[in-house]
Every structure is written in structure tokens, then in C-alpha cells.
Amino acid sequence: MLPRCLRAFSKPLCISFQESGILGKNLNRHLQFVGVNSFSSTRMSCMPQDVSLEKCSGKKDTLYKSVEIEIRSGEPAVLLSYEWFTSYAAKQLGITIGKCWAPPKAHHNRLTLLKSIHIYKKHRVQYEIRTYFRHMTYERLTESTLKTFLEYIQRNVPEGVAVKVTKKSVLNLPSSLSDSVRRLSIQ
């Protein structure tokens, strides 16, 4: 999950992200130096910025228009608390919070079984399993933000909760297509 260039102790941790699209390649966009934490006492001398940029990953961040997280559990109160936690974390990380909603009714899975092991067909017993749902939507994330956020969220999923994450990413037209479109529309 963490950027490939993250290595502890050996050199100052530098992460640079490039964003694709209209702004072209902005290499310097987010370069942050992370000091070595509490582990080693010696700090390597800072390398010049150009050199460190090239050594870090040159992959561009894809952009995600929205992420929808659907959670389901047998306990609605747990889902509510988890939604509160994810929204709070999103706010701390600067992510726009979209629509968070829950269907008004749970899904009931009912079974009607025979009460007795032999005969007595008229006497049954009914069981049901209730599954409550909740949806949270977060909008306008970059790939690194998304991966960080999702990993943090998923590590703190409580017991008995299932998560489905639907990600909508946006891409440019593939180069072959855009070239042909341009060529033929000029014709």
C-alpha cells in the first residue's frame, strides 16, 4: 500500500506524487520529507531535490470520482458507529463526504422449519437472520489518498461487519483512440 520508495532508516523518506491530466506532469506537486521517527538517531544529509525525485516512483496517480462503501452487519448500532468513524477520519484527511444513507428496513432471511424431528407437520418453528445495510460515499480522491484511507478504514472494521467498496475511477481516452478521433474529425 505504501509508496514503493518508502524505506526505513536508509535515507530520508521522500514521497512524490504526480498527477495526470490537465495539469500535465507536475513532479514537484507534493514532495514532503518525512523525518525518521524515533528509531535511528543519525539522519542522512538531505539529497538535492532533483535526484530524490527521480529515484521515487514515477507512476501517476489515477483519480477516483467517488468511492462507495457498503457495510452490512447484524447490528445497526455498530454500523452507525463505524459510519461515524469513517466520516470523522475522512474529514481529518480532507476527503469530501458524499451521501451517507441506510435503507429503512433490514434484509430478513427467514426459515420455517419443522419443530419436531418426526411427524407433527403442523407445528413449525421460524428463524430469521437480519442483515442491516449502510452506504457511505466519499468523493474526489486521488489514488494514494484512496489507498491510505481504505487501508485505515479496513484495518479498523469491527467484528461481524462485511464491507464492499465500489470505486469509480476516471481515465483519459486511450492514446490510440484519441489520435484516431482527432485524425478522423479533422477529415
Partner 1 sequence: MSAIVNLRVFRNFQQFVSFRPISNYPTSLNKNAEVQNVEDDDFRALELRPNKSNNMRGNRRKTAYKKTPVHPPRSNKMPVDQDWPSVWPVARVFHPASVPLPLHQGWVEPGITPPGKFANAELMKIPNFLHLTPPAIERQCAALKKFCTEWPKELDTDEKIDHHFPIQITTSDYLHSSPTIRDARARIVTLQVKLSTLHLNSHAKDKLLRLVKERYDPITDILTIVSERCPLRKQNLDYAMYLLNVLVSESWKTEPWENEKSEADMEKYVWEGSQSQRTLQQLLERMPDKAPVLPEDIEQYSTNVTRFHNEGETTENVNTYKESVKKLLGLNA
174 in contact with partner 1 (CB under 8 A): yes
Q: How far is the C-alpha of 119 from the C-alpha of 47, rounded, in Å?
A: 83
Q: How far is the C-alpha of 187 from the C-alpha of 181, rounded, in Å?
A: 10
185 in contact with partner 1 (CB under 8 A): yes
Q: How far is the CB of 83 from partner 1 (least distance, A)?
A: 11
Side chain identity, residue 131: T
2 in contact with partner 1 (CB under 8 A): yes
Q: Report the b/e string of 146-183 with b at 16+ CB within 10 A.
A: bebbbebbeeeeeeebeeeeeeeeeeeeeeeeeeeeee
102 in contact with partner 1 (CB under 8 A): no
* Site map 47..86 versus partner 1, x via CB under 8 A: --------------x-x-x---------x-xx--xx--x-
Q: Which residues contact 63 (CB under 8 A, 6 or more apart)?
A: 19, 20, 21, 140, 141, 142, 143, 169, 170
Closer CB to partner 1, 102 or 167, in the complex: 167
21 in contact with partner 1 (CB under 8 A): yes
176 in contact with partner 1 (CB under 8 A): yes
Nearest to 76 by CA among 110, 111, 102, 109: 102
CB 139 within 8 A of CB 96: yes
164 in contact with partner 1 (CB under 8 A): yes
Binding segment (CB under 8 A) for partner 1, from list 46-54, 97-105, 108-116, 161-169: 161-169
**Which residues contribute to the site for partner 1 (CB under 8 A)?**
2-3, 15, 17, 19, 21-23, 29-30, 32, 34, 61, 63, 65, 75, 77-78, 81-82, 85, 88-89, 92-94, 140-142, 144-145, 147-150, 152, 154, 156-160, 162-174, 176-177, 180-181, 184-185
